[in-house]
Structure 1
Amino acid sequence: MPSANRLSTPVAVDEPEIEGRYAPLDEYTVSFESFHQDVDPAPYFTGLPDDRCQCVHWGVVTDGQITFRWPDREETYVAGDAYYAPPGHLPLITAGTAIVEFSATADLEATMAVVQRNLAAAGASS
């Protein structure tokens, strides 16, 4: 059975705002992400349907706090909470947050292609 560990998964994103490590597990990707600054990545989802993340995520907050925003509601999760984020959300993350998150690899790759284009257009190095 496939598995991943934060410490043995190489760093793929190392920016002032975030450190991200991503490991494939069959048809899913596990993300180990740590946020060093408050992050509102909403502008980077521009170009996706409704300009929102359409990828489903299951995760656990290990430190800090993450809020998911939908057009009709917000849900906030803190350290120790497990969450399910259905499509159509925008995340809002506070500094000091760390998460372990599972996403369907194909959906995550499609989403990240748009995010990376928007980061490049904004002049970010990711």
Structure 2
Amino acid sequence: MTSTTWDETPVTFTGGGVEIRTQQLGGDMSVLYMRASEGADLSPRLKGLEDDMCQCPHWGCITKGRIALRTAQGEETYETGQTFYWPPGHAPRAVEDSEFFVFSPVEALERTMSHVTAEEAA
């Protein structure tokens, strides 16, 4: 597959005010769409990963709202219309109802999502 939309992309996680959809696009890249309600925090789902943070790099765009990103260096906020690169070592929290999409390496994203979904079942 070389293209997709929110509606075409399978849901891979829901919980805690977050919906995540992921799809491999071809080659070694996947797309992840995330919709998060104000206050939704992925930190609890990331516990157990290195530094209790996502270790997958992401390149993307905020399409709605504001996301606060916790890193070892502190916290940064990203707003509607901003494009970004998030290196490994981050944990996102929705400051307000938010949506974004990212492109990520398939294997790194699959490792992270396996952890997130395993934590959901625990």
Identify the TM-score tier after normalising by the shorter chain.
0.7 to 0.9
- Tell me the distance in 1 between the aligned counterparts of 2:88 and 2:36: 22
Structure 1 position 58, deviation (Å) = 0.8
Higher strand share: 2
1:19 is aligned with what amino acid?
E
- Tell me the distance in 1 between the aligned counterparts of 2:89 and 2:99: 22
Q: Which runs of 5+ in 2 are unaligned?
A: none
Structure 1 position 15, deviation (Å) = 4.1
2:81 is aligned with what amino acid?
G
- Tell me the distance in 2 between the aligned counterparts of 1:3 and 1:61: 19
Q: Which residue in 2 is equivalent to 1:35?
A: 36
1:41 is aligned with what amino acid?
L
Structure 1 position 37, deviation (Å) = 4.0
Aligned-residue CA RMSD in angstroms?
Answer: 1.8
Contact 1:70 1:88 in 2 (8 A): yes
Give deviations 1:94-120, integer Å, cap 9, x for gaps: 342010111111001111111222221
The answer to whether the aligner puts 1:58 opposite 2:80 as a matched pair is no
TM-score when scaled to structure 2? 0.87
Task: For residue 69 of structure 2, give the secondary structure of its aligned residue in structure 1.
Answer: strand
Aligned length: 121
Structure 1 position 9, deviation (Å) = 2.4
Q: Which runs of 4+ in 1 moved over 4 A?
A: none
Structure 1 position 16, deviation (Å) = 6.1
Structure 1 position 79, deviation (Å) = 0.4
Q: Which residue in 1 is equivalent to 2:4?
A: 4
Q: Which runs of 5+ in 1 are unaligned?
A: 122-126
The answer to whether the aligner puts 1:90 opposite 2:91 as a matched pair is yes
Percent of aligned pairs with the same amino acid: 37
Q: Which residue in 2 is equivalent to 1:21?
A: 21
2:113 is aligned with what amino acid?
M
